[in-house]
Amino acid sequence: MSVVGFDFGNVNSFIAVARQGGIETIANDYSLRATPSCVAFTTRGRSMGVAARQQLNTNIKNTIINFKHLLGRKFSDQVTQKYRKFIPCEMIQLPNDDIGLKVQYFNEERVFTPEQVVATFLVKLKDITENSSHGMRNVTDCVVSVSF
């Protein structure tokens, strides 16, 4: 059994597998080793990684980037307010001072927390791992690095 690690970055994320005394970085579905940490919502669904980053210019209000720094923070937090200008979608204050990211998804206004966006993105990294040529068909455990 191989060990899988996700390096979750604010701009890009990486997937690594420990193999035969070394570490190998897995390429995504676009044959790139770096997967953009980006989630986009449309009238037909959602996309993540490279596909989401490609929508940044045409679907900016429904594309979420730079969301790592919002994890575990409150809306009124100084760090949240500092990074607010780097989040292209609308950021709103939820009950209990939580952060909400408002987008149009399947022609409906939806609000997601940063934690929900990260969960969606981590599923994408898992899918990339399981669909790679490295024989990891059922990833159940992994190490996630989230450095600040």
The DSSP symbol for 102 reads E
**Both structure tokens of 49:** 């990684």
**Mean pLDDT, the chain, whole residue set:** 92
The angle formed by the CA atoms of residues 23, 28 and 144, to the nearest 5 degrees, is: 55
Contact 60, 42 (CB under 8 A): no
Note the helical H segments in the chain: 50-53, 78-83, 114-131
Per-residue pLDDT of 34-47, as tens digits, reads 999 999 999 999 99
State how far the Cα of 121 lies from the Cα of 13, in Å rounded to an integer. Answer: 10
Residue 133: per-residue pLDDT? 66
Does residue 1 surpass a pLDDT of 60? Answer: no
Contact 10, 38 (CB under 8 A): no
The CA-based diameter of the chain, rounded to the nearest angstrom, is 49
State how far the Cα of 12 lies from the Cα of 20, in Å rounded to an integer. Answer: 26
Place of tokens 């399947």: 106
Kindly list the structural domains of the chain, giving each domain's residue range(s) and its CATH number in brackets, ordered by start. 3-138 (3.30.420.40)
Closest C-alpha among 2, 41, 11, 44 to residue 129: 2
Per-residue pLDDT of 56-88, as tens digits, reads 999 999 999 999 999 999 999 999 999 999 999
- How many other C-beta atoms lie within 10 A of the C-beta of residue 39? 27
Q: Provide the whole-model pTM.
A: 0.90
